[in-house]
């Protein structure tokens, strides 16, 4: 992890609600939801890396 993020109480409440909704989507299975989040983050990181890669002249 590159940095630690500090949230205020409003942001923490929004994050908590989002997490609860995400887990509910997986019928309360927190481990399954966490695995899916890891996969989604991996895909997003690959896309970000591709966007930030230097472009080669054609």
Residue-wise DSSP of 17-52: HHHHHHHHHTTT-HHHHHHHHHHHHHHHHHHHHHHH
Residue 14 lies in a domain: yes
Rounded CA-CA distance 39/57 in Å is 32
In a domain, 1, yes or no: no
9: helix, coil or strand? helix
Q: Is residue 24 part of a domain?
A: yes
The answer to whether residue 41 is domain-embedded is yes
Distances (CA, A) of 7 to 12, 29, 31, 38, 40: 6, 25, 24, 21, 22
Total domains in the fold of the chain = 1
- 30 within a domain of the structure (yes/no): yes
Q: Which domain holds residue 18?
A: 9-52
18 part of a folded domain: yes
Q: Is residue 3 part of a domain?
A: no
- Residue 4 counted as domain residue: no
Identify the DSSP state of 54.
P
Give the model's pLDDT for residue 20.
96
pLDDT tens digits in sequence order for the chain, 58 residues long: 578 989 999 999 999 999 999 999 999 999 999 999 999 999 999 999 999 888 777 6
Does the pTM surpass 0.85? The reply is no
């Amino acid at each position: 992890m590159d940095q630690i993020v500090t949230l205020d109480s409003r942001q923490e409440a929004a994050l908590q609600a989002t997490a609860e909704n995400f887990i509910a989507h997986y019928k309360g299975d927190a481990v399954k939801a966490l695995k899916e989040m890891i996969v989604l983050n991996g895909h997003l990181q690959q896309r970000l890396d591709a966007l930030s890669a230097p472009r080669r002249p054609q």
